[in-house]
Amino acid sequence: MKRRELLGAAALTTLAACRAEPDQLTKITGGFVGSSPEVGHILREAKLPVYDGSPVRKIHTLIAGGGVAGLSAARALRMQSAEDFVLLDLESEVGGNARGGSIAGMAHPLGAHYLPVPGDDAPEVQDFLEELGLRKRISGRWVYDEKALCHSPQERLFFNGAWQEGLLPTQGISSETQQQYQRFAKLVAQWQVTGAFSMPLKENFRQKLQIAGIDIAQAATVFIAYLDTQGLTDPHLRWYLDYCCRDDYGAGIDTVSTFAGMHYFAARHGFSAPGTQDGEKEGVLTWPQGNGFLTQALAAPLRDRLQSQQIVLRIEEGKSEVLIDALHLPTKRVRRYAAQRCIVALPLHVASRVVNNAPDFLKAAAVNLTHSSWWVANIHIDAPLHDNGQGAFPSWDNVIYGSKGLGYVDAMHQSTRTAPGATVLTYYHAEGAGSALRQALLKARWPQLRDRALAEIAQAHPDITRRAQQIDITRYGHAMAVLTPQFISQISQSPAYKLRRVLSISKQYPTRPTPSTPRLRFAHSDWSGYSVFEEAFARGLHSVL
């Protein structure tokens, strides 16, 4: 049986099993949790509530948006001993796509679930981790907290009916597949040696590419087209690269730019063809609640400076102050703030809507940026799952070859319990870029997404429906920025941004440009074209420095 036929048969078998056991489905509780699309879409209403004339609240600095960038900006203000600031966020709990939840007393992520051990290109994040006690200098070398480093085994792939270690297909592959792995590894090394790739992005990445003979136009091609020109057509390699792009950008190799596809490897651990190197992976920091651990740590010291359930409706910059109107959801009243400056830590599509007379660089960036839609299913199981096939042991990250999803992580993997038991599996699914996919996701009912998650996982675990007790699903209509050819072309032209340099308090931090006007500072990972913690954290910090 061909691979595609085998996968199709497995999916049909799973769906048939679900239909044959309706009592097992009906016992599963759950629903939609986390971010509310309905709340977020209030800004799209034709007639928004207006300010009622109540006393204006004067503040020196207002931060609009409580994602990683906004929280990082608030931390930077605290480090400057600033007291007169406030952070507004529309959700009841801040953190954006990096929040956590809990089922049956077990913490789990609602979105981002790990942080690569930051290299020297991200001193801002290194310092933050040191502040949390996760990074210490011992005997002249930096050491990370073993409790936070991902425990072994870290990842596995269900491939050809069995589990294998690692996510790159290796069991039973042909010599031609192996050769293509090696050729791609050499390409990654050539791009990596340019020094243009890092997290966060280096300000001079364009010049470094050009010095190495890589034109920005080549970097701005669609990744799949670049693979075609290199003769890299092997289906196993392409599946893996597509998975990596969907995992990091929410869209596949037919959507993201070549720069994005190569950045995934060149900014991290490179690409190791099986049998050519020791295959050692980069360190990964993770917690049961995912990156919610980090956002909770950032939010905790803010106290009453953090004001949730407030939707920023309007930001108007004047000569002497910035007026900000925000709808307070519990009271349905519009509050007005007058600030000396405003840090706009909002996604680009929101910022361009709420900033009155938005600057040209903001409007241009918002037009060129595409977002992918995601959903995350947290599945509480009452006992360990049966592995459909022999091979590698259960891991933190578990991926099914050929699946439309991105696999699942085990929330209890970092625990110290001596025997496996009940846990929460966090299943990720990137729908892709475009408004049609986003609208379809937001219209989908909970049972539909429940059944899709169960069907995907059942290919490797046929007892998932029987073991599942509760499934909570979180939807993100604008989950992640997609580093498309259009956006990489734009950020290669700095005049379009009219970036203002800011001076850093600490000489150890590189100078990073912040899109700015006299009283507005823009800080969000969207400005880099892709959504990772390092980008958002650095942009939030440097919007204040």
pLDDT in tens, 480-496: 999 999 887 766 444 33
Note the pLDDT of residue 280.
52
Residue whose tokens read 């219209």: 443
Task: Give the whole-angstrom CA distance, residue 211 versus residue 56.
Answer: 53
Note the pLDDT of residue 353.
94
Task: Give the whole-angstrom CA distance, residue 468 versus residue 425.
Answer: 10
SS3 34: coil
277 Rama sector, left if φ>0, alpha if ψ -120 to 50, beta otherwise: beta
- Rounded to 5°, the CA angle 447-246-15 comes to 30
Q: 3-33+99-119+370-479 belongs to which CATH class?
A: alpha beta
Task: Give the whole-angstrom CA distance, residue 426 versus residue 407.
Answer: 8
SS3 238: helix
Note the pLDDT of residue 21.
62
Is the peptide bond preceding residue 153 cis, with omega within 30 degrees of 0? yes
Is the peptide bond preceding residue 200 cis, with omega within 30 degrees of 0? yes
SS3 406: coil
Note the pLDDT of residue 5.
41
Question: Residue 31 class from Cβ within 10 Å (0-12 exposed, 13-18 middle, 19+ buried)?
Answer: exposed
Sorted by where each begins, the domain ranges of the chain are 3-33+99-119+370-479, 38-97+291-359+498-542, 170-282
Fold of 38-97+291-359+498-542: FAD/NAD(P)-binding domain (3.50.50)
The pTM of the full predicted model, rounded to 2 decimals, is 0.92
- The residue ranges of the chain whose pLDDT is under 50 are 1-20, 279, 492-507
Per-residue pLDDT of 444-483, as tens digits, reads 999 999 999 999 999 999 999 999 999 999 999 999 999 9
Asked, colleague to colleague, whether 3-33+99-119+370-479 and 38-97+291-359+498-542 share their fold, the answer is no
CA distance to 52, 208, 346, per residue, from 540 (Å): 32, 25, 11
CA neighbours closer than 13 Å in the CB half-sphere of residue 346: 29
Per-residue pLDDT of 174-205, as tens digits, reads 999 999 999 999 999 999 999 999 999 888 88
- Helical segments of 193-266, H only: 205-211, 216-219, 223-229, 235-249, 258-266
How many CB atoms are located within 10 Å of the residue 321 CB?
18
